[in-house]
Amino acid sequence: MSRIKRRQFLQFAGSTLATLGLSQLDIQRAGDRYGRVLAQGTPRKLALLVGINKYLFDPLQGCVTDTYLQQQLLIHRFGFNPKDIVILTDEQATRQNILNGFEEHLIKQAKPGDVVVYHFSGHGSQVRDPDYPDCDFPDCLNSTFVPIDSSLPAGFPSPEGAVQDIMGRTLFLLMSAIQTENFTAVLDSCYSGGGTRGNVKVRSRLGGSKLQPIEDEQAYQQQWLSRLNISPTEFKQRRKQGVAKGVVIASARRDQEAIDSPFNGFYAGAFTYLMTQYLWQQTGRESFSRVIPNVARSTTRMTSNQQEPLIEYKPGSDYLTSPVYFLNERTPPAEAVITKVEGNQAELWLGGLDPDSLTAFDRGAILSVVDLQGREKGRVQLEARTGLVGQAQLLDAAQPGAFLQERARSIPNNLTLKIGLDPSLGNDANQAKQALTSIPRIEALPLQQQEVQYILGRMTNAYRQQVQTPVGSSLPEVGSLGLFSPVLELIPDSFGVTGETITSAVTRLRAKFQLLLAARIVKTALNTNSSRLNVVASMQPEGTEARFATTFPIRGVGQGSPGTQTTPAIPPNSDKLPLGTPVQIQVTNNETSGLYLSVLVIDPTGEISVIFPNQWIASEEVTLVSAGQTLKIPDPSKDSFRLVTQEPKGVAEVLILASRTPLRQALQALRELAARDNTRNGIVGLRGSDQQNEPAKVMDYLLDDVNNGTRGNATDTTRSSSMARSIDTSQLAALSITFEVI
């Protein structure tokens, strides 16, 4: 078998780093710094990261980005020496190179006690398992990883023959050969679905019982069985018991899809991005048992229940309670890190940004340079962002490797709602684009090119087989027009009747677009990870003390104590509430001064209701919650309404905004809506119309209020341009409680 030399490995890594904007000199300097740490006798940390986009049969777009996400996380958050991270992407990621990389870089170098990470992002598939040669059931198939040089044999649509995949059996043997138990495999691929789904791609290639591994793959397994002195019977038994070493994290269950998704300016694996972003926000010692359920919750929500990550660990071990990657690194939570400094200019890696807030981190956003205790030591101001690489001006001196935390985001004043045009529109696509772009702040875009918030399409027979709908609900008629999520989930109450014209459908949906735009505006301000305000919000069934969900800004609650700032673990299925459940929301102000509150509810259809304030003839002080006070909504002592989960079923969201600044403009706009509805006390619903975009205006006013407070309390260097609103982390806490009505 041919071998890849160590020098070639470094060349591979260098080629991918160049596209990231890092030079070999940067890596050499970082390597020298981490080398001094390694010289103190700490365990060596090795990583092999594989990402493949350029498949000939069904190219992907986010797999190479996944390797950058992991690389930057491992270097800056977990102390890996850049020289010990090997990256194989696209043409480099052949079957032979991946196997050689595993042997040469991981197996031959890792010693007991060392830390090893293997990451694969690309297509997955399945072949017949040699242990079950006469079985046609799915359980008799072996999962595979598809290298760049593997192609399907002839016989479309039912190919038959040998493929040059790397089998799960092979990975089990390679893991068995590693001399350390501190092994983590992260596998962002899947074995079901395939092709495109809405505005995303599925990381799966056709497989099945008619496909088998090439002879070299089977011979390679036999060689390792011999070298490890494992009999075929023992091997089969071990595989049934579980994984060979450490921990294996899979981005989706066996029958689910791993999503390759567009974000604001780049593509990535939905799971890889959410996992690495989550870990940037932690301070260390987060266990696998805490991290994966929390990341799974976010991944499942983003992919509309199409993808639920899972974790397996060596049978009989306690590895589930071990810290992620088996490392006890302590670092402050961060949105970014400085990767390069030239004069007063800096290059940043922004891997800690929440995907919903990316649009607020372009020109004008301010980040604080913090030390290892999370104390501010300086500031940088973003001037541009390409994907997750930012160009910034240093407002104070800083060095590469310095962590950055959000100080003030910059939300565009004219934020738009992006609507993708589904192929099911056929010849009506151009007419749909004209109708949509005639609506202010609505963009119409082709799919599979960039991020969209929703998709306008026509229900087809094929879609009726794919989409999921809540129990008790009916699917729209074939031929009807309506809205889907980016992963092709139905948007409730958006479909019309068969025969409706494109122009009529867009006119009918105009009010819904306004509501969806309003929700997008306010959600861009969500800052649970970064707000400095000490406020806690919870929701619980009415008349009980048991909290259904709790949210709080971690940095506001745990100020000055990085080691205690951790995201609370969320039990599985804890976010589901049956129809007809009365609930109460509580918000506690733990600051030393009053905060002005607004609480909104967004139902599964996109309808927005303001549940606080709810006294529309009182002064603005009605929104003030004093220091130490707990606000209850509804308050049985004075409110005449109840909050009860109701139709339609699906995911709903409570948004809690706590501001140091009076929300004067937003309150005045809401009073006008209450007066229009003759409402003196109670809930006010935001309604779109053909003429007035009232929901978006209310949200714009709300952010204007916070922006005015930020500018009034900030220095000139932190003021945003007139094209954007500056939202300071010390001025606003924007929190979310998401739940599903079942």
Q: Which of 412, 436, 463 is the last residue of a domain?
A: 412
Range of lowest pLDDT (363-372, 541-550, 606-615, 623-632): 541-550
For residue 468, CA distances in Å to 241, 316, 520, 650 come to 34, 38, 23, 11
Specify the pTM.
0.90
Q: pLDDT value at position 30?
A: 45
- List, in order, residues 6 or more apart from 280 with CB less than 8 Å away: 73, 77, 333, 334, 335, 351, 352
Residues 106 and 119 in one domain: yes
What CATH code is carried by the domain that includes residue 495?
3.40.50
Residue 246 in contact with residue 319, Cβ under 8 Å?
A: yes
The amino acid that residue 346 corresponds to is A
Range of lowest pLDDT (339-343, 652-656, 711-715): 711-715
Cis bond before residue 634 (omega within 30° of 0) = yes
514 has a pLDDT exceeding 50: yes
Residues 509 and 656 in one domain: no
Section 253-268 average pLDDT? 94
Q: Whole-angstrom Cα distance, residue 533 to residue 588?
A: 11
What CATH code is carried by the domain that includes residue 363?
2.40.30
Enclosing H/E stretch for 185:
strand 182-188
Domain-located, residue 709: yes
Q: Which of 412, 435, 453 is the last residue of a domain?
A: 412
Q: Which of 639, 533, 648 is nearest to 579 (CA)?
A: 648
Residues 248 and 388 in one domain: no
Domain range spanning residue 360?
A: 336-412
- At 557, give phi and psi (nearest 5°): -80, -35
3-state secondary structure at position 84: helix
Residues 124 and 194 in one domain: yes
Residues 96 and 16 in one domain: yes
470 pLDDT tier (thresholds 50, 70, 90): low
Domain-located, residue 508: yes
Domain-located, residue 565: no
Domain-located, residue 1: no
HSE-CB of 651 using CA atoms within 13 angstroms: 17
Quickly count: other Cβ atoms within 10 Å of residue 130's Cβ.
Answer: 16
| Number of domain units in the chain | 4
Q: Whole-angstrom Cα distance, residue 523 to residue 695?
A: 13
Domain-located, residue 331: no
Residues 502 and 529 in one domain: no
Residue with tokens 């890849």: 4
Enclosing H/E stretch for 256:
none
Q: pLDDT value at position 23?
A: 40
- List, in order, residues 6 or more apart from 539 with CB less than 8 Å away: 547, 548, 549, 583, 584, 585, 586, 654, 737, 739
Residues 393 and 512 in one domain: no
Summarised one tens digit per residue, pLDDT across range 402-452 is 999 999 999 999 999 999 999 999 999 999 999 999 999 999 999 999 999
Section 732-742 average pLDDT? 91
Q: Whole-angstrom Cα distance, residue 556 to residue 655?
A: 18
Q: pLDDT value at position 689?
A: 63
Cα dihedral 37, 38, 40, 44 sign: positive
Quickly count: other Cβ atoms within 10 Å of residue 545's Cβ.
Answer: 6
Q: Whole-angstrom Cα distance, residue 70 to residue 579?
A: 41
What are the E-state strand segments in 591-731? 595-602, 608-612, 624-625, 630-633, 643-644, 650-659, 684-686, 724-728
Residues 623 and 636 in one domain: yes
Residue 62 in contact with residue 121, Cβ under 8 Å?
A: yes
- List, in order, residues 6 or more apart from 307 with CB less than 8 Å away: 190, 251, 252, 256, 257, 258, 259, 270, 271, 299, 300
Residue 350 in contact with residue 336, Cβ under 8 Å?
A: yes
Residue with tokens 């087809």: 460
Q: Whole-angstrom Cα distance, residue 440 to residue 417?
A: 10
Domain-located, residue 582: yes
Angle at 563 between CA 368 and CA 535, to 5 degrees: 70
Residues 484 and 618 in one domain: no
- List, in order, residues 6 or more apart from 342 with CB less than 8 Å away: none
26 has a pLDDT exceeding 90: no
684 pLDDT tier (thresholds 50, 70, 90): confident
The amino acid that residue 193 corresponds to is G
Domain-located, residue 624: yes
Section 499-517 average pLDDT? 95
381 has a pLDDT exceeding 70: yes
Residue 598 in contact with residue 609, Cβ under 8 Å?
A: no
Domain-located, residue 30: yes
Q: Which of 390, 412, 434 is the last residue of a domain?
A: 412
Residues 534 and 469 in one domain: no
Distance between the two ends of the chain, CA-based, in angstroms?
A: 56
Q: pLDDT value at position 57?
A: 87
Residues 445 and 306 in one domain: no
Residue 431 in contact with residue 610, Cβ under 8 Å?
A: no
Q: Which two tokens stand for residue 250?
A: 């899979």
Residue 255 DSSP label: T
Q: Which of 5-9, 149-153, 205-209, 266-270 has the highest mean pLDDT?
A: 266-270
Q: pLDDT value at position 409?
A: 96
Section 202-223 average pLDDT? 94
Residues 109 and 94 in one domain: yes
